[in-house]
A = this chain, B = another copy of it.
Amino acid sequence: MDIKVVRQIMEWNENCHEELQQHFNDKKILMINIMGSPGAGKTTFILKLIEELKSENLRVGVIEGDIAGKIDAEKMAEKGIPVVQLNTDGACHIEAQSIKNIVPEFDLDDLDILIVENIGNLVCPAEFDIGEHLKVALLSIPEGDDKVEKYPLMFTRSNALVLTKYDMKDYFGFDEERVIKNCKAMNREAEIFKVNSLKGDGLKDFICWIKGFIIKSN
């Protein structure tokens, strides 16, 4: 007799991820999962990104993942961005089921892109697919140039690495070549971007890249 083996959580999560991805395909939504340490600059990056995308008539919604509170969601709402706060009540990552529960809060016909700001954590979120088409890992210059080596799963599984707070590179003596070499060694396809989100420097390249994945034709 064959014994059916179910890999608890991870298998359910993967099924739910595929179902979500199909739903986003049907609705012609590009879904981006933004990950990184606490303080990597995820919120500032997303805010500036949306500002620039707006000027190209691209419509973006945001799911703000946080353990507690709604500080970042409030920042999005202030700018008139459709946003839903997802609180994990202590959990260190987001799972696909949570995204599935939240998606009905958005009118997907009115969006081109859905961005999820994951929990600030360079470890656990990398393990969970949540319906995204693109995983983007942010690494801020002040975090240091050894982080790709120390947190390999995140950088192996991400489609792009964005170096944020790039204006601080010289101050912190950040060895950019080390980071790029290590990232490419574990993930040859990874795109690498260098951004100062406050000023918007480097965002154009990133936008140019994601535009290749946008499904809706305007």
Contact = CB atoms under 8 A, between A and B. Distances in A.
Q: Secondary structure at chain A's binding surface: helix, strand, loop or mixed?
A: loop
A150 B38 contact: yes
A103 interface: no
B122 A124 contact: no
A168 B172 CA distance: 11
Contacts of A124: 92, 121, 123-124
Interface string A132-161: 000000001011101101111100000000
A10 interface: no
Interface size class of A (residues with CB under 8 A): 20 to 34
B37 A120 contact: yes
Number of copies: 2
A205 B8 CA distance: 48
Contacts of A151: 38, 67-68, 120
Interface string A85-101: 00000101000000000
B92 A39 contact: no
A66 interface: yes
A210 interface: no
A49 to B, nearest CB: 18
Contact of A38 (B37, B66, B71, B165): B37
A1 to B, nearest CB: 29
Interface in A46-91: 66-69, 71, 90
Interface in A114-129: 119-124
14 contacts: A37-B38, A37-B120, A39-B143, A67-B152, A69-B149, A71-B146, A90-B153, A92-B92, A92-B121, A120-B122, A120-B147, A121-B124, A124-B124, A140-B142
Interface of A: 37-39, 66-69, 71, 90, 92, 119-124, 140, 142-144, 146-147, 149-153, 165, 168
Q: State the 5 A-B residue pairs at the shortest beta-carbon distance, nearest first.
A: A39-B143, A142-B142, A92-B123, A37-B38, A38-B122
